[in-house]
Amino acid sequence: MSSAVLQVEGLHKAFGGVQAVADVSFAVAAGEMLALIGPNGAGKSTCFNMLNGQLSPDAGIVRLEGRDIVGLRPRAIWRLGVGRTFQITATFASLSVRENVQMALYSHTGRLRSLVRRFGAAFRPEADALLEQVGMFDQADRVCGVLAYGDLKRVELAIALANQPRLLLMDEPTAGMAPKERVALMELTAQLARARNIAVLFTEHDMDVVFSQADRIIVLDRGQLIAGGTPEEVRSNPNVRAVYLGSVH
Amino acid sequence: MTFSSILIQLLNGLAAASSLFLVSAGLSLIFGVTRIVNFAHGSLYMLGLYGAYSLIELFGRTPLGFWSAVVLAALVVGLVGVLIELAVLRRIYRAPELFQLLATFAIVLIIKDIALFTWGAEDLVGPRAPGLSMAVEIMGKRVPAYDLLLIVIGPLVLAAIWLLLTRTRWGALVRAATQDREMVGALGVDQAKLFTSVFFVGAVLAGLGGALQIPREPANLELDLAVIADAFVVTVVGGLGSIGGAFLAAVIIGVAKAFCIGMGSVTWFGVEISFSKLTLVVEFLIMALVLVVRPYGLLGKPQAAQRVAAEPAPPFKVPSWGFALVWLALLVIVPWVTDRYAAILLTDIVCFALFSVSLHFIMGPAGMVSFGHAAYFGIGAYAAGLLLKRAGLPMEAALLIAPLIAGAFAIVYGWFCVRLSGVYLAMLTLAFAQISWSIVFQWDSVTGGSNGVFGVWPSPWLADKTVYYYLALALCGAGIAFLWRVMFSPFGYALRAGRDSPLRAEAIGIDLRRFQWAAFVLVGALAGLAGAVYAFSKGSISPSTISIAQSTDGLVMVLLGGVETLTGPVVGAAIFTWLRDVVARNTEFWRAVIGLVILLIVLLFPQGLVGGLKALVMRWREWPA
């Protein structure tokens, strides 16, 4: 897979005596939607946090477009072209929707240090264009602190797209949303990812979303990858059926 | 030092540690359960001392009289604590943290004046403990028997609290609430009763800590803030909410202080180090060190996240040009048409306005509460005075260089501070302010010690009070305008973003600490400018410009006007300065009056004066015609 944007090899992490993630390897290609699924406690979040710089792995290599990013801080990883959305949304509550996106654009271009220029003036069209894409333009002037949860998820997506990422990491992107909204948000994500050739890695509990939106799925159980492939392949994989349905079936 | 003198210092330190532990344990307990930083805890200690003094006079200097007085004093202080909880704090548990702080500070002012009214301004020296006034000979040195008793009392109280917390239902509730207050509430526990009882126990501990000190230190009116600073340091070093940690920290700090006194001046490698002068600084150095290595104290844990999200701070409104010009015109005209006195008062006001706007900048948009903002104000003032008097610079140069020196100090202090957040950050800022204060207070040969620096007058062309006022207005006004401008700049927005969500800020590439550090330096320099302008307007500088009282004045100004508005801190500074001036000229008890005014405002306008007025105007406008 020469076009892999993200390549993970032999990732390990233990907390005390508990092996949270053991020998996990996979890759995500540009324009591809890869879902990481698994039962609660399988190690999905640990795995995610090692990719985004919040945790450092005990062993293993994480390559972003060929470059090893293990040990870098989250902000450095972002600068290399990784956008993120959080399981529990994290936006700037006292800033307007537009200003949230402008903030990411300012940071991307390294212009946050100015003491005298007015913040509101720059990057307005760019921010509005991003908000248009995620369907939040009509609420651009509202403060994030008063938005509905589903709308905040969209704002996060717009923020994540602001630095023209090569890779999007989405941890439970639809958690807390109504079922209809979930599919809509991930359809939108898939559409944007394909149009901009962005690799997307997401964890998800909603299997409707996973099987309808992912190009490929990998399955984690007790820290280890037990299956991987297209939705069809994963659906019929006996290991997966055992983990989710119990071995009796 | 010989072994025996080391032992003596150790015993001295342990004796001092006992009272320190009692106060800190109470503070820690109250904070753990109610999440209120009780500024008035030192005042309760002070009341314990005064109470014990009076009760011993009443009961007679017999062993029975002494001990019943000590116990009764502690219980009475406990009731005072209950009164405070019921009358004030109960009404504001849902208010923002800073408002609770302001309310407890108002109580400090009121208690101070009640003590002044009841016991007078003179220090009161208590009797020695009857039956324990002798000294015990240990390894050839004499140790007061009472000190040995105190050494025993500390661990005994620790054991008692531990039993109370682990063996009773009440203790289980307290521990549960310390970990997760909301969950305890959700489980149907009567929080109101729990809070009141915790306040009672905490206040009794403070009162007992004070009462037990009566044979060792005179009762005086400065104890409240001195003790609260010590208690803050102990609880933070030990870890907020950890009683064991408080004990450990009290012992470490008590012993460290005793050794500093005991060692006196020592010459090492040809350099003379005066350890006795380090006593005021040593605890704060320990605290700074501990917080950098262990940000939650020796035995503390990270604070449990509160699930109830705070309301997002509303965006600031930019004052319109018309509004600003009208005010500026007024400020220019007033001293012209009135007397010289108005110019002096207005000069004070513009200095404090810049001071409070700079404090507001760091606590509002940047989200870092400072209990020690006076450090930069005072350093600016001293830098100006010393550059003029000791370095012989012209006044104009001193005035301009002073802010840079305050900013340089902020570079050092800020480097440590931005590594912490919340209450721990606030305490560390207080520690740095106290370190600065101690240095100024003890470095007689340079700073003039407790007398301060005299003859700090401006150049002849500025000698006229009105002319100087215009200079102050221009400099401080420019400072305020600059800070307001910065608030709406990308830099200011980045700070707000970091306050709202450090996680998201990091995830979009913002190196938050660098921004916060830069903000620290910026406001430090501008507070320094305010201090320098203030110094030349007064002609003299005293250590009180760096005191805790000066820092809390700043907090009061900001909170009085309201954190959530841009103009609030200016209005707060003006009203506070004016009010203090008016009240102080009419009554000896001006602190109590100001305390009452603050309490009224806190209870009636929880958004500050400007915020409250705005809300009123809004309601009036929305009234159906």
Q: For residue range B113-172, list pLDDT tens digits in order.
A: 999 999 998 999 988 888 777 788 877 778 888 989 999 999 999 999 999 998 999 888
Q: Is residue B551 part of a domain?
A: yes
Give yes or no for residue A223 having a pLDDT over 90.
no
Q: What percent of chain B has pLDDT over 90?
A: 40
Sheet-wide strand order for A67-68: A18-29, A4-15, A59-64, A67-68
Q: Is residue B298 part of a domain?
A: no
Please state which of the ranges A39-53, B156-170, B377-391 shows the lowest mean pLDDT.
A39-53
Distance from CA of A193 to the nearest CA of B (A): 19
* Cβ <8 Å between B506 and A74: yes
Distance from CA of A105 to the nearest CA of B (A): 9
* Cβ <8 Å between B485 and A146: no
- Quick check: helix, strand or coil at residue A68? strand
Give yes or no for residue A249 having a pLDDT over 70.
no
* Cβ <8 Å between B509 and A144: no
Q: Do B44 and B95 share a domain, yes or no?
A: yes
Q: Is residue B304 part of a domain?
A: no
Please state which of the ranges A4-13, B34-43, B310-319 shows the lowest mean pLDDT.
B310-319
Q: What is the ipTM of this complex?
A: 0.90
Residues in chain A whose Cβ is within 8 Å of chain B: 52, 73-76, 78-79, 84, 86, 90-96, 99, 103-104, 106-108, 111-120, 122, 143-146, 159, 162-163
Contacts of B499 in chain A (CB under 8 A): 94
* Cβ <8 Å between B507 and A99: no
Contacts of B515 in chain A (CB under 8 A): 112
* Cβ <8 Å between B313 and A94: yes
pLDDT at residue A123 in the model:
92
Average pLDDT of the residues in B243-251: 93
Strand partners, B138: B141
* Cβ <8 Å between A112 and B501: no
Q: A216 vs A135, B153, B588, CA distance in Å?
A: 27, 68, 79
Contacts of A116 in chain B (CB under 8 A): 485-486, 489
Numbers of helices and strands, H then E, in chain A: 9, 10
Distance from CA of A248 to the nearest CA of B (A): 40
Query: Which residues of chain A form CATH 3.40.50.300?
Result: 1-81+167-249
Which of A78, A82, A89, A94 is the mutation pick for testing B, counting most B CBs within 10 A? A94
pLDDT at residue B144 in the model:
85
Contacts of B506 in chain A (CB under 8 A): 73-75
Q: What percent of chain A has pLDDT over 90?
A: 38
| Distance separating alpha carbons of residues B104 and B88, to the nearest angstrom | 9
Please state which of the ranges A169-183, B107-121, B253-267 shows the lowest mean pLDDT.
B253-267
Q: Do B531 and B581 share a domain, yes or no?
A: yes
Q: Which residue has the tokens 């200097």?
A: B61
Best CA proximity match to B556, nearest among B359, B379, B423, B376: B359
The CA-based dihedral angle spanning residues B562, B563, B568, B569, taken in that order and rounded to the nearest 10 degrees? 110
Please state which of the ranges A207-216, B170-179, B358-367, B407-416 shows the lowest mean pLDDT.
B170-179
Range picked from B168-177, B259-268, B330-339 for highest mean pLDDT: B168-177
**Phi, psi dihedral angles at B450 (to 5 degrees):** -70, -20
Q: Is B545 exposed, middle or buried (0-12, 13-18, 19+ CB in 10 A)?
A: buried
Contacts of B565 in chain A (CB under 8 A): none
Q: Do B224 and B340 share a domain, yes or no?
A: no
Q: Are B37 and B101 in contact (CB under 8 A)?
A: yes
Query: 3-state SS of B432-473?
Result: HHHHHHHHHHHCHHHHCHHHCEEEECCCHHHCCHHHHHHHHH
Selecting from B489, B509, B511 the residue whose C-beta is nearest the C-beta of A118 gives: B489
Q: Is residue B309 part of a domain?
A: no
Distance from CA of A213 to the nearest CA of B (A): 25
- Chain A residue with CA closest to B364: the answer is A94
**B514 reaches A (C-beta below 8 A):** no
B311 pLDDT tier (thresholds 50, 70, 90): low
* Cβ <8 Å between B311 and A84: no
Which of B504, B513, B517, B564 is the mutation pick for testing A, counting most A CBs within 10 A? B504
Contacts of A84 in chain B (CB under 8 A): 507
* Cβ <8 Å between B491 and A112: yes
Window 293-332 of B, Cβ < 8 Å to A: 309, 311-315
The CA-based dihedral angle spanning residues B488, B489, B495, B499, taken in that order and rounded to the nearest 10 degrees? 30
Expressed in percent and rounded to 5, the helix, strand and coil fractions of chain B are 75, 5, 20
Helices (H), B390-421: 395-417
Q: Do B341 and B254 share a domain, yes or no?
A: no
**Phi, psi dihedral angles at B542 (to 5 degrees):** -125, 160
Give yes or no for residue B394 having a pLDDT over 50.
yes
Q: Is residue B301 part of a domain?
A: no
pTM for the model stands at 0.85
Contacts of A107 in chain B (CB under 8 A): 494, 508-510
Q: What is the mean pLDDT of chain B?
A: 87
Q: Do B453 and B507 share a domain, yes or no?
A: yes
B607 pLDDT tier (thresholds 50, 70, 90): low
| Distance separating alpha carbons of residues B125 and B129, to the nearest angstrom | 12
* Cβ <8 Å between A115 and B312: no
Q: For residue range B20-66, list pLDDT tens digits in order.
A: 999 999 999 998 888 888 889 999 999 999 999 999 999 988 889 99
pLDDT at residue B307 in the model:
46
Q: Do B348 and B229 share a domain, yes or no?
A: no
* Cβ <8 Å between A78 and B507: yes
* Cβ <8 Å between A91 and B506: no
- Chain B residue with CA closest to A102: the answer is B490
Average pLDDT of the residues in A14-43: 88
pLDDT at residue B314 in the model:
59
Q: For residue range B433-474, list pLDDT tens digits in order.
A: 988 988 898 888 888 888 888 888 888 898 888 889 999 999
Q: Do B603 and B454 share a domain, yes or no?
A: yes
- Quick check: helix, strand or coil at residue B21? helix
* Cβ <8 Å between A94 and B315: yes
Q: Do B47 and B87 share a domain, yes or no?
A: yes
B539-541/B453-456 β-pairing: antiparallel
Q: Between A and B, how many CB-CB pairs are < 8 A?
A: 108
Q: Is B503 exposed, middle or buried (0-12, 13-18, 19+ CB in 10 A)?
A: middle
* Cβ <8 Å between B488 and A73: no
Distance from CA of B217 to the nearest CA of A (A): 50
Taking the CB of residue A184, how many other CB atoms lie within 10 A of it?
Answer: 16
Give yes or no for residue A66 having a pLDDT over 90.
no
DSSP character for A38?
A: -
pLDDT at residue A2 in the model:
47
* Residue after which a domain boundary falls, among B275, B293, B311: B293
Q: Is residue B299 part of a domain?
A: no
The CA-based dihedral angle spanning residues A144, A145, A148, A154, taken in that order and rounded to the nearest 10 degrees? 30
CATH code where residue B418 lies: 1.10.3470
Selecting from B496, B505, B508 the residue whose C-beta is nearest the C-beta of A94 gives: B496
Contacts of A73 in chain B (CB under 8 A): 506
Contacts of A91 in chain B (CB under 8 A): 500-501, 504
Q: What is the total count of domains within chain B?
A: 2
pLDDT at residue B174 in the model:
86
Q: Which residue has the tokens 């106290």?
A: B434
B85 pLDDT tier (thresholds 50, 70, 90): very high
Q: Is residue B305 part of a domain?
A: no
Q: Which CATH number fits domain A1-81+167-249: 2.30.130.10, 3.30.200.20, 3.40.50.300, 3.40.109.10?
A: 3.40.50.300
Q: Is residue B579 part of a domain?
A: yes
By residue range, what is the domain housing residue B564? Answer: 321-622
Contacts of B313 in chain A (CB under 8 A): 94
Q: What percent of chain B has pLDDT over 70?
A: 96
Q: What is the mean pLDDT of chain A?
A: 88
Selecting from A86, A93, A114 the residue whose C-beta is nearest the C-beta of B500 gives: A93
| Distance separating alpha carbons of residues B527 and B557, to the nearest angstrom | 14
Give yes or no for residue B625 having a pLDDT over 70.
no
pLDDT at residue B34 in the model:
84
| Distance separating alpha carbons of residues B132 and B151, to the nearest angstrom | 14
Contacts of B491 in chain A (CB under 8 A): 112-115
Distance from CA of A230 to the nearest CA of B (A): 30
Selecting from B491, B504, B506 the residue whose C-beta is nearest the C-beta of A115 gives: B491
Distance from CA of B518 to the nearest CA of A (A): 10
Distance from CA of A144 to the nearest CA of B (A): 8
Q: Do B266 and B378 share a domain, yes or no?
A: no
